[in-house]
């Protein structure tokens, strides 16, 4: 038997090349600036930021450092909190003189403080990398559950996308085959972010796919989904949802709006919004829901969006808003839907100045097209 081939040695990363590449990046200053703003928003809540904005610059600098440090300590585990405090004490002591056996000894505590700080950093980085590996797997699973291509319905053009703010998202964009050429399109928005929201979004998707094809009415569909999410969902988590059923060669649309942002219907000389007809799913036991209906003529567009689009903020704290979204939809009402959707996403990015999204951005567009 031939000897087993020894494993290849691990590849070594050239640290000097990596550092040099980082320094030559054209967006390095912008990246650092975004990271600083992210730290500020992560460690300080809205009330703290409002109080700081009301202060003068010198006083604000003093308080923001203190509040950031306090928030940092509270987010650490007890052991790491003790290590960080120990590192700060050693750094403050610095060079210290003391008498030992008649001899004056000078000792520098700062390297030991740096070492403790490095240990805390390594422990936090280890946790982050382990969590990142798990979240990457969750992201792959979530992407596998999403539609791989845009649906085809006679007499309709349909297009949707979802861009998570983090590695996994709490928004759901999905399509349900209802048989006889009919299609169910859904956009759901789970409260919160991260893995918990992603798990509930998967639950929402599975529940809808199981119930929608056999539900006699959307009233009943909403009530059954609400009951299931309440019994099997996560504490203090709920989901808004807009669900629409499209029929082939017909402009008739049945829909259910469970606490979601009012979708926009763009018409030649008018526009309407479809108000919620029930509470978000999983919020309150015994909630009732009303089915809505809509007739779309050739060329009329239905746009369903998540608040990650309309509530996206620029540096001044101004929101993108529904008015800008409506203007874009009307300007591009005759463009291919994928062009319209990508133009909206690009415009939101320009408006925010390239800021990292604070919420998932999702959109579903459906246009009546007799000639399609």
* pLDDT tens by residue, 252-309: 999 999 999 999 999 877 778 888 889 999 999 989 999 999 999 999 999 999 999 9
Q: Is pLDDT above 80 for 327? A: yes
User: Token pair for residue 33?
Assistant: 């600036």
Confidence of residue 129 (pLDDT cuts 50, 70, 90): confident
Q: What are phi and psi of 293, to 5 degrees?
A: -140, 155
Sketch the domain layout of the chain as residue ranges.
Answer: 39-141, 150-368
Confidence of residue 19 (pLDDT cuts 50, 70, 90): low
Q: How many CB atoms lie within 10 A of CB 353?
A: 12
Q: How many residues does the chain have?
A: 372
Which pLDDT value is given to residue 186? 96
Confidence of residue 192 (pLDDT cuts 50, 70, 90): confident
pLDDT, average across residues 16-36: 70
Burial label for 333, CB within 10 Å (0-12, 13-18, 19+), is middle
Confidence of residue 49 (pLDDT cuts 50, 70, 90): confident
Which pLDDT value is given to residue 156? 94
d(CA 97, CA 83): 23
Only one residue has tokens 């403080």, namely 113
Q: Is pLDDT above 80 for 351? A: yes
Which pLDDT value is given to residue 1? 40
Distances (CA, A) of 337 to 46, 161, 243, 246, 365: 37, 11, 19, 16, 7
pLDDT, average across residues 335-353: 92
Architecture of domain 150-368 in this structure: 4-Layer Sandwich (3.60)
| 101 vs 59, higher pLDDT | 59
Confidence of residue 334 (pLDDT cuts 50, 70, 90): confident
Q: Is pLDDT above 70 for 245? A: yes
Which pLDDT value is given to residue 23? 66
Among 211, 155, 168, which residue's Cα sits nearest to residue 186?
A: 211
User: Token pair for residue 15?
Assistant: 């640290």
């Amino acid at each position: 038997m031939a000897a087993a081939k020894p494993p290849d040695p691990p590849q070594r990363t050239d640290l000097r090349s990596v550092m040099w590449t980082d320094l030559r990046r054209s967006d390095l200053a912008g990246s650092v600036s975004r990271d600083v703003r992210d730290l500020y928003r992560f460690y300080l809540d809205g009330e703290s930021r409002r109080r700081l904005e009301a202060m003068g610059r010198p006083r604000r600098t003093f308080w923001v450092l203190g509040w950031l440090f306090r928030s940092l300590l509270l987010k650490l585990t007890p052991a790491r909190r003790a290590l960080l405090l120990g590192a700060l004490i050693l750094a403050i002591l610095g060079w210290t003189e003391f008498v030992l056996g008649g001899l004056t000894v000078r000792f520098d505590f700062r390297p030991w403080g740096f070492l403790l700080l490095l240990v805390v950093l390594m422990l936090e980085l280890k946790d982050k990398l382990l969590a990142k590996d798990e979240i990457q797997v969750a992201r792959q699973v979530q992407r596998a559950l999403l539609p791989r291509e845009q649906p085809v319905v006679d007499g309709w053009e349909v297009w949707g996308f979802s861009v998570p703010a983090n590695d996994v998202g709490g928004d759901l964009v999905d399509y349900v085959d209802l048989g006889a050429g009919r299609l169910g399109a859904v956009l759901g928005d789970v409260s919160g972010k991260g893995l918990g929201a992603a798990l509930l979004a998967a639950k929402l998707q599975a529940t809808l796919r199981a119930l929608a094809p056999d539900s006699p009415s959307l009233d009943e569909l909403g009530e059954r989904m609400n009951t299931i999410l309440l019994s099997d969902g996560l504490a203090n988590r709920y989901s808004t949802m807009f669900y629409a059923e499209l029929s082939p060669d017909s402009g008739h649309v049945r829909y259910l709006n469970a606490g979601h942002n009012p979708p926009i219907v763009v018409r030649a000389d008018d526009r309407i919004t479809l108000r919620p007809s029930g509470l978000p799913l999983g919020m309150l036991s015994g909630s009732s829901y009303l089915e809505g209906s809509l007739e779309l003529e050739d060329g009329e567009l239905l746009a369903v969006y998540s608040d990650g689009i309309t509530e996206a903020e620029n540096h001044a704290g101004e929101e993108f808003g529904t008015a800008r979204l409506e203007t874009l939809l009307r300007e591009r009402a005759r463009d291919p839907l994928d062009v319209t959707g990508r133009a909206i996403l690009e415009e939101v990015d320009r408006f925010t100045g390239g800021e990292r999204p604070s919420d998932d951005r999702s959109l579903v567009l459906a246009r009546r097209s007799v000639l399609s």
